Structure 1
Amino acid sequence: MPGSWEDLRTRLASGAALAVLGVVMIGLGGPWFAGLAAAVVGVMIWELTRMTAPDNRAAAVQLGMLAASAVLLARALPGIYVLPVLLAPVLVGAGQIGRNRALFVGFAAAILLAGYALSLFRDSYGMAWLAWLVLVVIATDVAGYFAGRFIGGPKFWPRVSPKKTWSGTLGGWLAALCVGLIFAAFTGAGAGAGVGLAAFSVLLSVASQVGDLSESALKRRMGVKDSSALLPGHGGLCDRFDGLMGAALFMLLVAQLIYIPEVRF
């Protein structure tokens, strides 16, 4: 099946470049990682606006810049102001989007909250937890890609994402479980909590896949193959970071409900 692998080299090259940039910025933390998170959010809002309002290119640029600025500003303000600041670009965009307004509002709010959550998570819980989150998402994506192509089999949800299979979905869960076990073994999180963390990693994997499927559903609704052509082999940032956004939103919710101890490698 040569056609199934023709995009692999391009995907690996652009994926490796993104991974290196992400590792460096996660390591630096602080304003460096916040700047990266804000830039990614800005581009994703630009892509979202182009998909939901393709005739309003000027609004796409303006809303992208406003969204990036909102993420940075929210970091500098007291907690009571964070949500209004993050939702401001959503409300501005809602006034400029036509018949796809509800889709824009839902996805834009999710993107802004997730981008802020990633930055907050790095500052509040340290590099180790953020590295775990990113590794679970990457393992889910990579294992799903290869399991789906090596094993194949029944489609997971063909109406939304025709290429995704049950084998790829289950392969992603298994890879996430392994990441959780390894992370527990090499950090302070392993003190009697290895199995629990492995199970939680699977839940995070599911959240990542929900983010992926949600973006696939949006693209099918809008009649586009990719969110943009910024990343060779991947499409746009929405195509590449949809899983990470789903995982970040899940962790933002979890962090409000349970205590997350700081851990180190």
Structure 2
Amino acid sequence: MALKIGDIGLRAASAVVLAPAAVLATWAGGGWFCALVVAACGLLAFEWARMSAPRFWRSVGAAVALALITAVIAAHIGQMSLALILLVFGALAAGLFARSRGAEALDAAYGVLYIGWPCVLLIWLRDLNEAQGLYWTVLVFAVAWSADILAYLVGSAVGGPKLWPRFSPNKTWSGFIGGLVAGMIAGAAMAGWLEMGRLNAFWGGVLGLTAALATMAGDLWESALKRRFGVKDAGNIIPGHGGLLDRVDGLMFAVVVVAAGRVIVLMLGQGT
């Protein structure tokens, strides 16, 4: 498969516009980062509703967004247990509301959990400790973005056998391997460069490899969901990328893995 220079240029231009806002909000932390995640929740909720409930996307999207934002704010103020409870009850409420409007209750409920779980964990990672929170959040972005970008570049340049043609006909095994290697290197580099307790370069590489695998899985999972709903992209808000969900599908899975790694480090007393 030939490398599509024009497509890459459009993707790069979109990244140049969007990345600074994400980087600055992540650096600032606190309310700025929470505002970034809240805004993302709103966009993701309506993209999910457009896919899963196209006839009632405004009302279902509003219900899903309300559930997500409530849980994220609870996590931001340090109430993680409450945030998780709100996610469960928010999913139930969104499902019941969707059913009352004639949409699929399970799709709306799943949307709250699918989007909300990683968003709450991302808030937890960033707010856990000022310095370490920043480092672990940077690790998430570095691994997920590296895996995603290199998977696309290697797959486009090398081509070869398809990874899962039934759901994602453009993804190849070469891109999959390239993404895993990139994530492992990014994890090792971040752990070696940043002061992250005893998470050295070796274990950073292991965590990066695992998170890169989750990134690939998240991308494939969203491809399967889009096939189920009969859409090509989750949206069209980002030129060259489709919707926001198309851009962060792998990141959402990577957050869960990195947060689990952070919990293990905390349990072992290997970092603050």
Structure 2 length as normaliser, TM-score? 0.88
Please report how far the alpha carbon of residue 196 of structure 1 lies from its aligned counterpart in structure 2 after TM superposition.
2.0
Q: Structure 1 residues 164 and 75, CA, compared in 2 at 3 Å: closer, same or farther?
A: same
Alignment partner, residue 30 of structure 1: 30
Answer yes or no: is 1:146 the counterpart of 2:153.
yes
Q: Structure 1 residues 229 and 99, CA, compared in 2 at 3 Å: closer, same or farther?
A: same
Instruction: Specify the code of the residue in structure 1 equivalent to 2:182.
Output: A
Alignment partner, residue 10 of structure 1: 10
Contact 2:75 2:124 in 1 (8 A): no
Please report how far the alpha carbon of residue 60 of structure 1 lies from its aligned counterpart in structure 2 after TM superposition.
3.5
Please report how far the alpha carbon of residue 262 of structure 1 lies from its aligned counterpart in structure 2 after TM superposition.
4.9
Answer yes or no: is 1:241 the counterpart of 2:242.
no
Q: Structure 1 residues 99 and 180, CA, compared in 2 at 3 Å: closer, same or farther?
A: same
Answer yes or no: is 1:232 the counterpart of 2:233.
no
Contact 1:140 1:176 in 2 (8 A): yes
Please report how far the alpha carbon of residue 257 of structure 1 lies from its aligned counterpart in structure 2 after TM superposition.
4.2
Alpha-carbon distance between aligned partners in 2 of 1:160 and 1:78, rounded to the nearest angstrom: 38
2:55 partner SS = coil
Bigger mean CA offset, 171-180 vs 143-152: 171-180
Alignment partner, residue 53 of structure 1: 53
In the alignment, structure 1 segments of 5+ residues that lack a partner are none
Q: Structure 1 residues 89 and 50, CA, compared in 2 at 3 Å: closer, same or farther?
A: farther
Alignment partner, residue 88 of structure 1: 89
Alignment partner, residue 136 of structure 2: 129
Alpha-carbon distance between aligned partners in 2 of 1:15 and 1:83, rounded to the nearest angstrom: 31
1:212 maps to which of 208, 219, 229: 219
Q: Structure 1 residues 144 and 109, CA, compared in 2 at 3 Å: closer, same or farther?
A: same
Alignment partner, residue 200 of structure 2: 193
Contact 2:215 2:251 in 1 (8 A): yes
Alpha-carbon distance between aligned partners in 2 of 1:219 and 1:192, rounded to the nearest angstrom: 37
Instruction: Specify the code of the residue in structure 2 equivalent to 1:121.
Output: L
Q: Structure 1 residues 119 and 161, CA, compared in 2 at 3 Å: closer, same or farther?
A: same
Instruction: Specify the code of the residue in structure 2 equivalent to 1:231.
Output: I
Instruction: Specify the code of the residue in structure 1 equivalent to 2:92.
Output: L
Q: Give CA deviations for 1:133-191 in whole Å, capped at 9, x if unaligned.
A: 10100100110011001110001111111111000000011111211222233123486
Alignment partner, residue 180 of structure 2: 173
Taking the TM superposition and a 5 Å limit, the aligned residue runs for 1:71-86 are 71-76=72-77, 78-86=79-87
Q: Give CA deviations for 1:170-224 in whole Å, capped at 9, x if unaligned.
A: 0011111211222233123486832221122000001111111111110011010
Structure 1 runs of 4+ off > 6 angstroms? none
Structure 1 length as normaliser, TM-score? 0.90
Instruction: Specify the code of the residue in structure 2 equivalent to 1:63.
Output: A
Q: Structure 1 residues 108 and 78, CA, compared in 2 at 3 Å: closer, same or farther?
A: closer
Q: Structure 1 residues 100 and 154, CA, compared in 2 at 3 Å: closer, same or farther?
A: farther
Alpha-carbon distance between aligned partners in 2 of 1:127 and 1:184, rounded to the nearest angstrom: 13
Contact 1:227 1:236 in 2 (8 A): yes
Instruction: Specify the code of the residue in structure 2 equivalent to 1:117.
Output: L
In the alignment, structure 2 segments of 5+ residues that lack a partner are none
Contact 2:74 2:82 in 1 (8 A): no
Alpha-carbon distance between aligned partners in 1 of 2:197 and 2:62, rounded to the nearest angstrom: 46
Instruction: Specify the code of the residue in structure 1 equivalent to 2:39.
Output: A
Contact 1:35 1:72 in 2 (8 A): no
Q: Give CA deviations for 1:83-112 in whole Å, capped at 9, x if unaligned.
A: 122233322221215574434433420211
* Cα RMSD, aligned residues only: 2.3
Q: How many residues align?
A: 263
Aligned sequence identity (%)? 33
Alpha-carbon distance between aligned partners in 2 of 1:192 and 1:226, rounded to the nearest angstrom: 37
